[in-house]
Amino acid sequence: MPAEAIVEVRGAGKSYDGTVEALRDVSLALPQGGLSTLLGPSGCGKTTLLKIIAGLIPPSAGEVWVKGKKVDGPGPERAFVFQDFALLPWATVLRNVAFGLELRGVTPEQRHDIARGYIEKVGLKGFETSYPHQLSGGMRQRVGLARALAVDADIILMDEPFSSVDEQTRRKFQEELLDLLKIERKTVIFVTHSIEEAAYLSDQIVLLSPRPGTVSRIIHPAIERGGKNPDEIRRDKNYLDVVDEIWQILKRYVV
Amino acid sequence: MVLFGKRVPIVFSLVIWFVVWELIGRAKLSTIVPPFSDVVAAGMTILPTEKFSAAAAISLRSFALGMALALGIGIPLGVAMARVAGVGKLLGMWVNIFVSAPISALVPILMAVIGVGEATVVVTVFLFAVFVIILDTQVGVRQADRSLVEMARCFGAAPYQIYAKILLLSALPEILAGVRLGVIRGVKGVVIGQLLIALLGVGELFELYSKNFLMEEFWALVIVVFMFAFLLSEAVAFVERRIEYYAGAR
């Protein structure tokens, strides 16, 4: 387990209009180079927590530190992958992937070069000139992932990235994500409501309880991934134990 | 259009109406309706005249100035109304009143205030066109995908980049629809303004022809103005269709 924490959440809380409390006193340390999942039932504030870490929403209480600096807005060391993809419908795949660099003022030749590299890495070579509406949901999310990788952030925040993608595509995508992250060496914070997805992907799983969201348990799955193919992992005893352990906790929250 | 099981071009429906018009004219039912062929002949004789080109030039200039003002003020104002809650509240009701109000009723007042001249016509065109442009821009910007704005912020967009690269492009289909409606209203504005002033441009010609019962010339001028408005709105519609693919994909 890498020990150094790259993201620290200290006593973060969020309430809207002073009445609806979405998060209460959340403290977390997210290790560098690891994949941490925020898992919980809908309404537990996991997306709110992710957006606070991203700097898109200011917390009502507490603070977030990223790489030793206090967060007061979005920053270049963090990139976001959106649940609804958030692709520009009027722009080609190439321009969408290069958009983060375009906003930073990188020259067109340079940013298109970088974008082409990541388009190939996420398996979309040949679709550079396609428009988002010509792609399937899974392919659109690959564009979203390539865009996040292209800005070379240390931390990638993913908000239920596979929730609008069908199950087969989702599994394939999960496997490829793990392979890709092995090469790219990013820290990933991943929001999901799927227990299997969390157990399969994560080095650390943060379980959140609903309304207001608080940290209910932190689990470190001890799944031996080395040398195993994805199907072997899905039959691994530790993997199945983790899935069961999470379910035992979460089912108390399901009404 | 399909007629007796055969495909015929849309223009054919115009041809039918022109034939009906010709027959009514030949039957001499009314002095107001001369035969269509006479109207065309009159058109051919007035179009090359200096009087017509001078009138057309003045009308076009008033129209272009009024439209430029309507676009230059209407689009930024619509964006401001959608993005700044105070501006939206302050102006929303007025824009909604004026978009449906009969602006023609204001022209005599404008004449009294601004004077009988080109400036009044420019302001009339502006007033006819601007409100629908404001309203459509506002709707377009308000409907812009919030998650695109969030995405841009996340990737470090400066505020001006959010406007230029996200909001205006997102709202483009609605803005163009507003511009097309604005153009159509602007043509009405220029004709009505000049008719009421009766001393300028195409309006002066209309007055001249109708007062002297020059019905051939009158109808020829009507057709020219109709064609102008139609072609202009079709030109905007052409641009609209080209960006339609992403309006549907939003």
B window 151-170, beta carbon within 8 A of A: 151-158, 161, 165-166, 169
Cα nearest neighbour of A88 on chain B: B148
**Residue-by-residue pLDDT tens, chain B, 250 positions:** 666 777 777 778 888 888 888 888 888 877 788 888 888 898 888 888 888 888 888 889 999 999 999 999 999 999 999 998 888 888 988 988 888 888 888 888 888 888 888 888 899 999 999 999 999 999 999 988 888 999 999 998 888 999 988 999 889 989 999 999 999 999 888 888 888 876 778 888 888 888 888 888 888 988 888 888 888 888 888 888 887 666 555 5
Please give the ipTM for the structure prediction: 0.84
Model confidence at A1, in pLDDT bands (50, 70, 90)?
very low
Distance CA A153, CA A53 (A): 14
Which residues in chain A are contacts of B153 at CB distance < 8 A? Answer: 56, 74
pLDDT score recorded for residue A2: 46
Instruction: Quote the tokens at residue B226.
Output: 């109709």
Nearest to B182 by CA among B221, B146, B131: B131
| Average pLDDT of the residues of chain A | 84
Instruction: Quote the tokens at residue A152.
Output: 């070379």
Q: In the predicted model, what is the mean pLDDT of residues A116-129?
A: 88
Interchain CB distance below 8 Å, A56 and B150? yes
Q: Is any Cβ of chain A less than 8 angstroms from the Cβ of B116?
A: no
b/e for A51-89, b at 16 or more Cβ within 10 A? Answer: bbbbbbbebbebebebbeeebeebbebbbbbbbbbbbbb
Contacts of B111 (CB under 8 A, 6+ apart): B120, B196, B197
pLDDT score recorded for residue B247: 56
Which residues in chain B are contacts of A79 at CB distance < 8 A? Answer: 154-155
pLDDT score recorded for residue A207: 85
pLDDT score recorded for residue A94: 92
In 3-state terms chain B splits into helix, strand, coil percentages (rounded to 5) of 80, 0, 15
Nearest to B189 by CA among B133, B105, B115: B105
Interchain CB distance below 8 Å, A89 and B157? no
> CB-CB: which of B148, B154, B156 is closest to A88?
B148
CB A174 within 8 A of CB A200: yes
> CB-CB: which of A75, A86, A133 is closest to B147?
A86
Q: What is the DSSP letter of A131?
A: -
The pTM score is 0.80
pLDDT score recorded for residue B250: 53
What's at A190, amino acid-wise? Answer: F
Distance CA A120, CA B180 (A): 42
Distance CA B35, CA A108 (A): 62
Interface test with A, best of B145, B151, B244, B246 (most A CBs within 10 A): B151
Hey, what CATH topology would domain B46-249 get?
MetI-like fold (1.10.3720)
Give the number of other CB atoms < 10 A from CB of residue B211.
Answer: 10
The backbone torsions φ and ψ at residue A227, rounded to the nearest 5 degrees and listed phi first, read 75, -5
CB B52 within 8 A of CB B205: yes
Query: Residues of CATH 1.10.3720.10 domain(s) within chain B?
Result: 46-249
What's at B76, amino acid-wise? Answer: P
The backbone torsions φ and ψ at residue B179, rounded to the nearest 5 degrees and listed phi first, read -65, -40
